[in-house]
Amino acid sequence: MGYPLDLLGNVTEMKRTVLCFVIAALPAATAASAVQTWYVNLSFEEALKKAEVEKKLVAVDFYADWCAPCKIMDATTLQDPKVVEWFRTHTIGLKVDAERDVALAARYGVDSFPTFVFLKPDGTEFDRLLGYLTPEQILPEFAGIQEGKDAVARAKDALQKGDPTDPVLRAKLASAYATKGKYEQAAAEYLWCLDEGFRKHPELGDLRGYVLTELMILSQRYPKVIGELAARRSALRKKLFEGEADEDDVFNFAAFNEVSGEPQATVNVYDELRVNGKIPARIKQALVRAVLVQLLQARRYSNIAADMDVMAAVDAEFAAAKQAPPGDEQVQLMLISVISSYYQILVALNRSDDADSVAKRLIKFADRPETYHLLAWNGYLTGKPVQANLDQARKADELTDKKNIGVIDTLARILHAMGKKDEAVAVAERGLKNAADFREQMFMQQCLFDIRR
């Protein structure tokens, strides 16, 4: 799949506030008895003593009141009967607010949430699990813990049983090393993913950003990483200008710049290579894909079309999506985002037949509010939306019962851009009236201000 864009909202002049189409409500327990409690109401020292008597581990769930993944996990994973049963059978469970018991959190080096730390009865750490985990993800980890295997041993087992070139498995091993304080080994695994893993598995290339982000975090404890990344970025830039780079090099170079907060650096290289003409067609197309977000923001549509076969790119995205399981929500949302961006290019260049063809194809693939909305919004971003974009915005408004603030905003702006100011104001006022909270009110007030001036 292509580069990711925001899937659930829209951004005025590319910097607007994100508004979600759907916020999944977590099921609330109807009675206190419905909540399954896996932890005990004991002090830390009491829990250690109880674990010693019962020959168990102490499982400490470090959380923070503001941590959304913690709350989601509490309401889902930690209510799963198998998860609860395992905790009760094999551990003495504790929940610790890390911002209240600062000393205990510091003792075990907890600096992100949720973090589950598994301790021996003497208080020494056996293992830890980081971040939000589903029941399907956490239960295999429990099985390994029960066998006496820590995160590194479990990750090595998975690598041995699976594909040793799989960057997902290697990144998991890197994460396990990091949790154990083995930062050099962690860095080596992450860097291998960048140097070799994504070249062997290009279909997993979207994980480059994740791996680089983990390396940047790791650099706080292992500063040598900074030098490693800088050397690689410099070498990739040199390869690009010497004509020795391949597509994988392009995407690695762009990822380095993105995570370093310098996405414009990739655009600069693209422009320099275009000027001197020393750029093979395949590398030029890879560079366009790598900087597509920036080129779209700058409305450099003619450059994109000159260096990329847009319709061929659309075909490639649909072909990739067909490889995913039918009905895969993430794949659908990603495809909607990417294809609607290509649609923006076609609308901007007045390639109406191609634009209509792409829109119909996307709607056939995913007939849902997000599809109509993002098609409409990308038409608006061109600065000259067409009737089809207005029709798409009206359709999205109907499908969301005329209550979605993001859709209402898009509809009002398209109406205004097409010279229908009175109707645009009426739509925006309707949105302001239906705003559910202060944030939505401010959002619609900004919309009204923009279309009235």
Q: Residue 354 belongs to a domain with what CATH number?
A: 1.25.40.10
Task: Report whether pLDDT(143) > 80.
Answer: yes
Using CA atoms, how far apart are residues 164 and 157, in angstroms rounded to an integer?
Answer: 11
Higher pLDDT, 266 or 20: 266
Whether residue 394 is contained in a domain is answered as yes
CATH number of the structural domain spanning residue 91: 3.40.30.10
Amino acid at 158: A
* Mean predicted confidence (pLDDT) in 170-195: 94
55 and 192 together in one domain? no
Element housing 398 (H / E):
helix 387-399
Whether residue 445 is contained in a domain is answered as yes
**pLDDT reported for residue 12:** 30
Tens of pLDDT, residue by residue over 44-99, are 999 999 999 999 999 999 999 999 899 999 999 999 999 999 999 999 999 999 99
Tens of pLDDT, residue by residue over 7-40, are 223 323 322 322 233 223 334 333 334 567 899 9
Task: Report whether pLDDT(275) > 50.
Answer: yes
Tens of pLDDT, residue by residue over 112-141, are 899 999 999 999 999 999 889 999 999 999
For the beta sheet containing 115-119, the strands, ordered from the edge strand earlier in sequence to the opposite edge, are 91-97, 57-63, 115-119, 125-130
Q: Which domain holds residue 351?
A: 12-22+326-452
CA distances, 424 to each of 88, 179, 394, 410, 446 (Å): 58, 54, 12, 10, 13
Buried b / exposed e over 45-78, threshold 16 CB at 10 Å, is eebbeebeeeebbbbbbbbbeebeebeebbebbb
Annotation says 70 is catalytic: yes
What are residue 115's DSSP bridge partners?
A: 62, 130
Q: Which of 127, 148, 169 is the last residue of a domain?
A: 148
389 and 346 together in one domain? yes
133 and 172 together in one domain? no
- Number of folded domains that form the chain: 3
Q: Which of 148, 178, 208 is the last residue of a domain?
A: 148
Annotation says 67 is catalytic: yes
165 and 288 together in one domain? yes
Whether residue 295 is contained in a domain is answered as yes
193 and 169 together in one domain? yes
Whether residue 410 is contained in a domain is answered as yes
Whether residue 239 is contained in a domain is answered as yes
List 20, 67, 193, 447, catalytic entry = 67
17 and 40 together in one domain? no
142 and 221 together in one domain? no
pTM for the model stands at 0.70
Q: What percent of the chain has pLDDT over 90?
A: 79
Whether residue 395 is contained in a domain is answered as yes
Tens of pLDDT, residue by residue over 194-225, are 999 999 998 898 899 899 989 998 998 999 99
* Residue entry with tokens 């830039």: 237
Q: What sections of 400-453 are H helices per DSSP? A: 405-417, 421-434, 438-452
Written as six digits, the tokens of 280 are: 């093979």
**pLDDT reported for residue 82:** 96
Task: Report whether pLDDT(175) > 80.
Answer: yes
349 and 388 together in one domain? yes
191 and 298 together in one domain? yes
Instruction: Tell me which residue of 16, 21, 13, 129 sits closest to 70, measured CA to CA.
Output: 129
**pLDDT reported for residue 351:** 97
* Mean predicted confidence (pLDDT) in 251-255: 92
**pLDDT reported for residue 332:** 87
287 and 372 together in one domain? no
* Residue entry with tokens 């009206």: 394
Amino acid at 47: A
Tens of pLDDT, residue by residue over 99-114, are 999 999 999 999 889 9
139 and 169 together in one domain? no
Using CA atoms, how far apart are residues 335 and 340, in angstroms rounded to an integer?
Answer: 8
Whether residue 298 is contained in a domain is answered as yes
126 and 186 together in one domain? no
- Rounded to 5 degrees, φ, ψ at 120 are -75, 160
Using CA atoms, how far apart are residues 29 and 325, in angstroms rounded to an integer?
Answer: 32
> Would you give the end-to-end CA distance of the chain in angstroms?
40
Whether residue 398 is contained in a domain is answered as yes
